[in-house]
């Protein structure tokens, strides 16, 4: 099945503020500012040069940063909807499958022991925990992406992180990918962190894997580059002000688009 990754923004809180960006800096990074909320995101693919029509194995590098202009605690990143064009394919045939129950209440070592053979990507994430009348705490966590299998035409990814503050807890983000038109439509739902006091503030990870299936070498990601960009659109990225930080709406919804660069060859 085909699928694509995208990151983008816009704003609909009780009022609606439109944003549309189709811009990529030379380093594949885009920054969007809406009020005090600042979102920086981007990524790229390896190899950087790809055939125009033939799909080849690829690895994606993705990153994001959530901040505020005055240093206050940001709203919690809770959901994103992403649509990607048809130049990226995802293949999970023959891959082992990890079940959500195998990741819940597990630290990183236990998650790898249970589902290491389903691993698709790794990186790091940080969250900020803000309790009332206390200085916010920055917490780092390894980030692991596991194959959740394919059913009914939908592919699932399970993103596992583990925080130790205020108490040890696993955070498992569920990503569902389905075909939409000629491209792919994905929905990621991020659980509540630290009872609503926690907000993701950055992530950085690589995603991709080659493996053998029926005696052939295949790749989780396959991509082509007919026109120099991978087009990504996000009709909805939801932030919730669960910590009741002054100056933010209860719900902020960003929407927009970005183009990730590649170089056609052949």
pLDDT, one tens digit per residue, over 160-196 is: 999 988 889 999 999 998 888 778 889 999 999 999 9
Say which range, 33-47, 71-85, 233-247, has the weakest mean pLDDT.
33-47
Q: What is the pLDDT of residues 91-131, one digit of tens each?
A: 899 999 999 999 999 999 999 999 999 999 999 999 999 99
Q: What's the rounded Cα separation, in Å, for the pair 232 and 204?
A: 18
Q: What is the pLDDT of residues 239-259, one digit of tens each?
A: 999 999 999 999 988 877 777
Q: What's the rounded Cα separation, in Å, for the pair 202 and 62?
A: 11
Q: Please report the pLDDT score of residue 27 as a whole number.
A: 52
Q: What's the rounded Cα separation, in Å, for the pair 88 and 262?
A: 12
Place of tokens 């980030």: 143
**What share of the chain in percent tops pLDDT 90?**
57
Q: Please report the pLDDT score of residue 28 as a whole number.
A: 58
Which one, of 160, 174, 44, 33, lies nearest residue 106 by Cα?
Answer: 160
pLDDT at 74 over 90: yes
Residue 21 binned pLDDT confidence (cut-offs 50, 70, 90): very low
Q: Which residue has the higher pLDDT, 95 or 22?
A: 95
Q: What's the rounded Cα separation, in Å, for the pair 115 and 250?
A: 36
Contact assessment for residue 143 and residue 203, using Cβ atoms and an 8 Å cutoff:
yes
Contact assessment for residue 24 and residue 260, using Cβ atoms and an 8 Å cutoff:
yes
Q: What is the pLDDT of residues 52-68, one digit of tens each?
A: 999 999 998 889 899 99
Place of tokens 């929407």: 255
Q: Please report the pLDDT score of residue 240 as a whole number.
A: 95
Q: Please report the pLDDT score of residue 17 as a whole number.
A: 34
Cα 210 versus chain centre, distance: 20
Q: What is the pLDDT of residues 9-20, one digit of tens each?
A: 222 222 233 333
Residue 264, helix vs strand vs coil: strand
Place of tokens 């803000």: 130
Give the β-pairing of 119-129 and 198-207.
antiparallel
Q: What is the pLDDT of residues 196-217, one digit of tens each?
A: 999 999 999 999 999 999 998 8
Q: What's the rounded Cα separation, in Å, for the pair 8 and 176?
A: 17
Q: What is the pLDDT of residues 1-11, one digit of tens each?
A: 433 332 322 22
**Burial (0-12, 13-18, 19+ Cβ within 10 Å), 114:** middle
């Amino acid at each position: 099945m085909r699928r694509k990754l995208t990151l983008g923004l816009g704003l609909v809180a009780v009022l609606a503020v439109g944003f549309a960006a189709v811009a990529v800096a030379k380093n594949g990074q885009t920054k969007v500012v809406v009020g005090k909320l600042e979102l920086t995101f981007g990524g790229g693919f390896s190899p950087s040069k790809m055939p125009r029509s033939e799909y080849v194995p690829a690895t994606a590098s993705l990153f994001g940063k959530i901040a505020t202009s005055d240093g206050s605690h940001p709203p919690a990143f809770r959901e994103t909807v992403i649509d990607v064009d048809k130049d990226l394919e995802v293949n999970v045939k023959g891959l082992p499958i990890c079940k959500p129950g195998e990741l819940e209440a597990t630290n990183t070592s236990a998650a790898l022991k249970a589902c290491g053979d389903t691993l698709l990507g790794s990186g790091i994430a940080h969250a900020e925990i803000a309790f009332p009348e206390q200085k916010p705490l920055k917490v780092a966590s390894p980030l692991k992406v596991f194959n959740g299998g394919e059913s009914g035409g939908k592919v699932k990814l399970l993103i596992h992180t583990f925080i130790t503050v205020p108490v040890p807890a696993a955070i498992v983000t569920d990503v569902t990918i389905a075909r939409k038109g000629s491209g792919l439509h994905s929905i990621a739902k991020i659980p509540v962190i630290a009872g609503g006091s926690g907000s993701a503030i950055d992530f950085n990870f690589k995603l991709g894997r080659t493996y053998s299936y029926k005696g052939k070498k295949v790749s989780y990601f396959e991509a082509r580059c007919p026109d120099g960009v991978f087009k990504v659109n996000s009709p909805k990225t939801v932030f919730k002000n669960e910590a009741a930080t002054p100056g933010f709406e209860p719900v902020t919804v960003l929407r927009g688009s970005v183009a990730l660069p590649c170089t056609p060859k052949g």
